[in-house]
């Protein structure tokens, strides 16, 4: 089975060796920046350890836990862990391994974390837990200590460009995506496959214009953007563009700092997102 992620050479070699030796751990924590390819790596790992031709999200030996974003949920709840417990009570259907993927594992609620910890402490049969997170410091310490940490760093532009080799994009668009990706394979694949290059270009154009606009127009733009979901993705495009063009961007450090803070707070529902957008655009 060929790995889809062209980077992470050392991680691949490590797992290939562990599989050959029959020395896989029962729990791994895949940590690194968002959309860098941790999930793709985990999917390929599942196919490899179970000798599947390719990854299939409906495989009966796979269980995936993640916040239900489509239902406006940002947390993983204890009900999800109860469903997992039921899954683990069954024997592998094809085997040899059952694999549990916990995506955005730092979003486990305290109750869910404690329930999940019990499953980690008493693994049954051939099961591998793969916790994916961009914020490992937010994991329950007792969970963190029971998993082997594998760190993923940003890919080079060359690796990112290779992931676009089969994408139906013009050379100009491939160069744009590579520049904005900042080494994030997951973001690159999503941008290429969803066909949202036009949206990315529009978001960048809007941001460039707003930097030159008076305060009244910035506030109006923030209101319009807030009412036009999803605004979080627009901010991601701004941040990627600002970072890629930081050498030529006036007050680049200030702009990047403001956008990083905005990005962080927009991932937390307890804050007033419209006010955050307005304040950030005013202070740029």
What mean pLDDT do residues 247-269 have? 88
pLDDT bracket for residue 2 (50, 70, 90): very low
pTM, two decimals, is 0.76
What mean pLDDT do residues 163-191 have? 84
Share of the chain above pLDDT 90, in %: 50
Residue 69 has a pLDDT of 78
Q: Please say whether the beta carbons of 30 and 38 come within 8 A.
A: yes
pLDDT bracket for residue 27 (50, 70, 90): very high
**Rounded Cα gap, residues 248 and 166, in angstroms:** 31
**Rounded Cα gap, residues 62 and 214, in angstroms:** 52
Q: Please say whether the beta carbons of 284 and 221 come within 8 A.
A: no
Residue 3 clears pLDDT 60, i.e. is over it: no
Residue 263 clears pLDDT 70, i.e. is over it: yes
Supply the CATH classification number for the domain 9-151: 3.40.50.300
245: three-class secondary structure by DSSP: coil
Q: Each residue of 184-198: pLDDT tens digit?
A: 887 887 888 776 788
Tokens of residue 109, six digits? 């609620």
Higher local confidence (pLDDT), 146 or 184: 146
What mean pLDDT do residues 212-232 have? 88
Residue 6 has a pLDDT of 47
What mean pLDDT do residues 21-43 have? 90
Residue 154 has a pLDDT of 85
Residue 270 clears pLDDT 90, i.e. is over it: no
Specify burial of residue 212 (Cβ count, 10 A radius: 0-12, 13-18, 19+).
Answer: exposed
Q: How many CB atoms lie within 10 A of CB 113?
A: 19
Specify burial of residue 67 (Cβ count, 10 A radius: 0-12, 13-18, 19+).
Answer: middle
pLDDT bracket for residue 7 (50, 70, 90): low
pLDDT bracket for residue 236 (50, 70, 90): confident
> What is the spatial order of strands in the sheet that 98-103 belongs to?
62-65, 98-103, 127-133, 27-31, 148-151
**DSSP state for residue 105 in the 8-state scheme:** G
Q: Each residue of 56-100: pLDDT tens digit?
A: 999 999 999 999 877 777 899 999 999 999 999 999 999 899 999
Instruction: Choose the most confident range, by mean pLDDT, from 41-45, 153-157, 195-199, 225-229.
Output: 41-45
Residue 229 has a pLDDT of 67
pLDDT bracket for residue 250 (50, 70, 90): confident
Residue 1 clears pLDDT 80, i.e. is over it: no
Q: What is the mean pLDDT of the chain?
A: 88
Indicate the domain borders of the chain.
9-151, 157-283
**What radius of gyration, in Å, describes the C-alpha atoms of the chain?**
21
Higher local confidence (pLDDT), 188 or 118: 118
Share of the chain above pLDDT 70, in %: 96
């Amino acid at each position: 089975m060929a790995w889809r992620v062209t980077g992470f050479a050392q991680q691949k070699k490590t797992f290939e060796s562990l599989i050959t030796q029959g020395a896989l751990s029962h729990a791994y924590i895949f940590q690194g920046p968002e959309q860098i390819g941790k999930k793709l790596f985990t999917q390929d790992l599942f196919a490899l350890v179970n000798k599947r031709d390719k990854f299939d999200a409906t495989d009966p030996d796979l269980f995936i836990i993640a916040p239900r974003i489509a239902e406006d949920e940002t947390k993983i709840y204890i009900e999800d862990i109860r469903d997992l417990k039921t899954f683990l009570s069954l024997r592998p259907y094809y085997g040899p391994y059952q694999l549990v993927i916990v995506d955005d594992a730092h979003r486990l609620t305290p109750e869910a974390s404690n329930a999940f910890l019990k499953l980690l402490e008493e693994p049954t049969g051939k099961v591998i837990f793969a916790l994916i997170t961009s914020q490992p410091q937010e994991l329950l310490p007792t969970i963190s200590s029971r998993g082997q940490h594998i760190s993923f760093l940003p890919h080079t532009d060359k690796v990112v460009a290779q992931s676009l080799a089969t994408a139906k994009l013009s050379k100009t668009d491939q160069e744009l995506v590579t520049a904005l990706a900042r080494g994030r394979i997951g973001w690159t694949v999503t941008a290429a496959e969803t066909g949202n290059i036009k949206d990315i270009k529009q978001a960048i154009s809007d941001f460039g214009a707003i930097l030159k606009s008076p305060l009244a127009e910035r506030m109006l733009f923030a209101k319009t953007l807030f009412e036009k979901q999803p605004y979080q993705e627009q901010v991601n495009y701004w941040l990627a563009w600002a970072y890629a063009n930081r050498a030529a961007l006036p007050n680049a450090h200030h702009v990047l700092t403001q956008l990083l803070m905005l990005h962080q707070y927009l991932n937390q529902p307890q804050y007033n997102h419209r006010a955050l957008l307005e304040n950030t655009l005013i202070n740029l």
